[in-house]
A = this chain, B = another copy of it.
Amino acid sequence: MVLKLEHSHQLIIDNVSRFIDLTELEKQKYISLLTEVKVKKKAFLMQAGEIARYEYFITKGCLKVYTLNEDGVPHISMFAVEDYWTGDMASFMTKEPSRYFIKATEDSELLGISRANYELLFQEIPKFERFYRILYQKSLISYIRRSNQGISLTAEERYIEFKTKYPNIVHRITQKDLAGYIGITPEFMSKIISKVNRM
């Protein structure tokens, strides 16, 4: 018996099913461990100082994950859109206060899993160890690449790389936020963009 799932649940099941196969019963069980969350544009999903109680899967919208340096300048570590996972894994795992803010840049909808349900998930459906092993492995590969590019490419090269890699994200965010991701000032971002467009 295959039950019809609502859209957001279908999305997360499809995402998980890329790496592991679930029975209908396991799908129902998994979905029962998730919490639906809505965040309006400009609202915070999480703020620095809080403990990250959930890890999130985005079913709609766009969010930015960032820290503030001692001068209050934001440094954006990721933009998360539909079909992405986000959160502060360090705080989620250690239960120490987070240094990150997560703010919606569009009205967004997410599915969250709490720390308790995350542990329960591994007990009830051990295959999820495999799912997360592969998910983290793939994330690790792209973060290793990004941390290399951060030190080896110029700002202009990083911008071109971002545009090429995320053509679907680049037009959904402000130049200012993109500057915060690339690691430069909005003024210099503006110069780079007009230069690259002229080329």
Contacts and interface: CB of A to CB of B under 8 A. Distances in A.
Interface of A: 67, 69, 73, 75, 77, 89-90, 93, 122, 126, 129-130, 132-133, 136-137, 139-141, 143-148, 150-152, 182-183
Given A130-B122, A132-B133, A77 B182 contact: no
Chain A contact residues: over half helix, strand or loop, or mixed?
helix
Given A75-B151, A136-B136, A136-B137, 14 more contacts: A73-B152, A75-B148, A77-B148, A90-B144, A122-B130, A129-B133, A132-B133, A133-B133, A136-B140, A143-B147, A150-B150, A150-B183, A151-B182, A152-B183
Nearest to A91: B141
A152 B93 contact: no
> How many copies of this chain does the complex contain?
2
A48 B14 CA distance: 35
18 contacts: A73-B152, A75-B148, A75-B151, A75-B152, A77-B144, A89-B140, A126-B129, A129-B129, A129-B130, A136-B137, A139-B140, A143-B143, A143-B147, A146-B147, A150-B183, A151-B182, A151-B183, A152-B183
